[in-house]
A and B are shown apart, each in its own frame.
Chain A
């Protein structure tokens, strides 16, 4: 059985992490004063679903913790306890703890149980305290009875005895169980017959089946389970014994288990519908059933009567989601109920999609890349053909080229994801950071649906985090400072993303103090980066902050200001083929604009020839191309050949020497110099001539040969030959090394 289950682990982890993100987002958006019931419910569902999966896979610690969490959330969603700021904070902490736990389990490492145990204890205390006081419209006896019982029952410990005595139970207590199968239950090998049989061993079991959702025979999907059951178990057993009977099926059902006070009116044990475990189509409205068993016949009428009777009592204990109009009994609850599950399903994020492994997509993209190359070769050949058939052939090839381009774009889009995946971490981060620094920050995010390549998305996260931290730490002033400056005490940090002409532009804007040019200049001067009498344009001053080790922060907080940030940010952005620009006004605020290419698999390049070889220089690296006059070249000891460019001396890199090729010309003025930059440094590449500009598909060096310094990848040109794509940063490093050796 273990072998079988392990294959589902990775799915479980993936889905759980995603679900936790959703939970965090819902918590952050929760208005403590007037919490949206649907939000609270969705948070409950997350805990419920993780608990179920954890139980199924035997992740006991996770299951136990989420069980406690679920208990608290159940109290919140049913309105028996109110959402407070403290609870909201603890729930956010729970997200962190669960993430850490799941990560540890996923990596098969030991879980840090101290944190888990502490938080779990806090949560249990909250539930225990809350059960006594909170606004409880429900029949108080039931609420008081169930809440401490629930609180005292972490899944691991069998506290049945304690709970029983808390109830002052003289008779055997009863368990009221609502069991609704989700469609996959039977297919997954779970059979209620076995479950109920094992329950029956614990005491006296009464089972009532509800066939309401079972369609007419011909319409039945025979492998699905449409039945729901209400069970009553008279037993002194502990809660976890009851849980154990349902362990395997937990993920495939909606389950509510409530302890009924011996002798209490069973009508008041009416049950709120359990949360949706997965977000499937909910076939039947949640059934509110009295625990006192009534015959549920195939004919609908008796069922309705059963529903109607306890409705008034039930309504008071029901959640907002299942809120039947409290006064109305009878048919009224049904339509309302039918609407709610649909809403829940919608809110649960139902959309049609499937998970695909990244390897499959990369394979697909690779194959399409090959197709593009083949098509280019065919077009090249087509140009050389003669005759009337050749004409038709060429026209066919043009059509092919158009189709290929469409195919390529479609496939690239497969790897594209909305930037909201990266943006989503910011609300939490901004909230925590603002709290820590004592600042008031409002975070605005727009353009979250803007899509970019998955790899770019992953790598842009850290630079963005740094920039946002900068804004909050250095940009936005403390509230009193802001007020004195005539600003609102709450600073605004605005994250925006949009498509701009074949690129993505991501902007971080704040209405803080802006970059103080005089301070930056002073710092740069004191570091000797700028001469005392040099005059710099605004742009050039802004550029200074990208220098390694530069920071004008008065004191470095542990947040930012260590001075390692901005140069790394720029380097990361450059590595993605993008660039970063700054606009700022003192007293008003700053804007950091990052421009990124849509995808990493294609590069816009300038082809150059060196001897018989062709090389591709990425357009984003090129500054200018020029022809040198012989007299503009100097030779400096220790630096080789240099030439003057815009007031600077740049080294010349003879590509033919670097790559060992026989060039067409060796005299510098007979070839061309392509001024290119990488890593903030500029060099002049000496080439024979410029060929065209084109989009090329990058083929990986590592995958096909091995990493080569100075070479970013290779591509296959239309004539079938291979051209190496240059990586400027690497090239500069290599060239510097060779120059020193010379």
Chain B
């Protein structure tokens, strides 16, 4: 069972180290858990990276499970229409998820 990926503030400020960390996670195999309960700050750069990450994971047929997701992250993801791209749990914005 792999260790959950813990996110704190995925923003443009820490984007480079976040990218490194995510890239390392891509090298692993098996399902991945992401813990985003502690996320207080997030921006478009962060969400973009995360969305790419989730997409690449799923392309390798790996599953993503969000074991916790802060309000901040939920709101930001919905604002950008990336809620489903991130496979976030919870109520999606109306009309944006017809999956």
Which of A's residues lie within 8 Å of B, judged by CB? 186-187, 191-193, 196-197, 200, 206-209, 211, 214-218, 220, 222-223, 225-227, 229, 293-298
Contacts and interface: CB of A to CB of B under 8 A. Distances in A.
Given A211-B52, A218-B26, 10 more contacts: A186-B44, A206-B93, A206-B95, A206-B96, A214-B55, A222-B49, A227-B80, A295-B97, A297-B85, A298-B55
Contact of A209 (B15, B53, B56, B85): B85
Interface of B: 12, 15-16, 18-19, 22-23, 26, 43-45, 47-49, 51-56, 58-59, 76, 78-82, 84-85, 93-99
Contact of B56 (A217, A223, A297): A217
A207 B81 contact: yes
Given A211-B51, A295-B98, A222 B85 contact: no
Given A196-B80, A229-B80, A207 B19 contact: no
Contacts, number: 103
B45 A298 contact: no
A210 to B, nearest CB: 9
Contacts of A295: 84, 96-99
Contacts of B45: 186, 222-223, 225
A214 B52 contact: yes
Contacts of A208: 81, 96
Given A191-B43, A295-B84, A227 B48 contact: yes
| Interface of B: prevailing SS | helix
A192 B80 CA distance: 7
Contacts of B95: 206, 293
Given A217-B23, A217-B26, A223-B12, A207 B80 contact: yes
Contact of B15 (A211, A222, A229): A222
B52 A223 contact: no
| Interface of A: prevailing SS | loop
Contacts of B96: 206-208, 293, 295
B58 to A, nearest CB: 7
A220 B45 CA distance: 11
B81 A216 contact: no
Given A222-B49, A225-B44, A196 B79 contact: yes
Contacts of A294: 98
A684 B81 CA distance: 85
A295 B83 CA distance: 11
Nearest to A214: B52
Contacts of B23: 217-218
A186 B48 CA distance: 11
Given A193-B80, A197-B79, A220 B52 contact: yes
A223 B15 contact: yes
Nearest to B58: A298
Nearest to B97: A295
A292 to B, nearest CB: 9
Contacts of B52: 211, 214-217, 220
